[in-house]
A = this chain, B = another copy of it.
Amino acid sequence: MSDLKSYLTSKRKQVDDALNEILETCPSRIAVAMKYSLMAGGKRIRPILCMAAAEAVGGKAENALPAACAIEMIHTYSLIHDDLPAMDNDELRRGKPTCHIAFDEATAILAGDALLTLAFEVLSSAGTEINAERMLRVIQLFARAAGYRGMIEGQMCDIASEGILLNAGELRDMHACKTGAIISASVEAGAVLGNGNEEQTAGLKQYADHIGLAFQVADDILNIVGDPAVMGKAAGTDNSRKKSTYPSVMGIEASKAFAEKLIGNALQALEIFDSKSDPLRAVAAYIIKRKR
């Protein structure tokens, strides 16, 4: 797929417009804080994956748009809370002051809470065009992936393991929870809302599990070799926090090779699909080539 850039740009715009519209009419401080973090220039990888998965199974990207918006809200809430002083205590995110710096700590906690809640409001308000059983399944997928056996457990492990050297298996388990579960849920939700059958959905889940881990390996590499000006956040923070990362466990070159291998596996899982899954192939390649 040669025009990945235009695909990403058009899908990103679709998500941004939808997110903008949802929070447009509310001038309250909490809504301003939510919008501040939600519209801070995220790459929209998860919503794009969600819509691309709907297309890959032969469905319409539009049917996955509510889920795409919801997953970006869940992702943004997790960033706001992860950045809090009691957690990672980060002051910069996507080149801008983090939510608790731009507003205050109470507002940041509540803005995160409100984005998580709004995700489920958006899903449950998607309207009658989407089959209610399928939407309930998506709500269940997202709640499980974001919950105490998914993303939140991953964040707990991440905090608990600062200063402790994990082995490759432990690191993989942590990331499967912390970032992998939500990426898989994004893709699976797209397949469900695109009316994919079980074989297609299972294939896409395999694809997602591999790119989810590759995404994290690439993130770890970027944290060392990335350009802070391009990333919009500081580099070298994992090292100064004594966090276990793929480069720290297996070295940079082996990490790069591992990410390549994961992307190869992801592409293999797409072999049962036709050209409608080309955007998913392109996104897989982009994940390890990105600079931020």
Q: Which residues of A come within 8 Å of B, CB atoms? A: 26, 28-31, 34, 77, 81, 84, 86-87, 104-107, 109-110, 112-114, 116-118, 120-121, 123-125, 132-133, 135-137, 139-140, 142-144, 146-149, 152-153, 155-156, 159-160
Contact = CB atoms under 8 A, between A and B. Distances in A.
A149 to B, nearest CB: 7
Contacts of A156: 28-30, 107, 110
Contact of A147 (B118, B132, B142): B118
A5 B106 CA distance: 38
Contacts of A114: 147-148, 152
Nearest to A159: B106
Nearest to A29: B156
Given A30-B148, A109-B84, A140 B159 contact: no
Contacts of A34: 148
Contacts of A77: 113
Contacts of A132: 132-133, 135-136
A218 B283 CA distance: 57
A148 B106 contact: no
A39 to B, nearest CB: 15
Contacts of A139: 120, 123-124, 139
A132 B138 CA distance: 12
Nearest to A108: B86
A124 B136 contact: yes
Contact of A121 (B107, B109, B147): B147
Contact of A109 (B28, B31, B87, B148): B87
A112 B107 CA distance: 15
Nearest to A104: B86
B30 A153 contact: yes
B121 A152 contact: no
A116 B116 contact: yes
A86 B113 contact: no
B110 A112 contact: no
A153 B120 contact: no
Nearest to A84: B109
Given A124-B136, A136-B136, A81 B28 contact: no
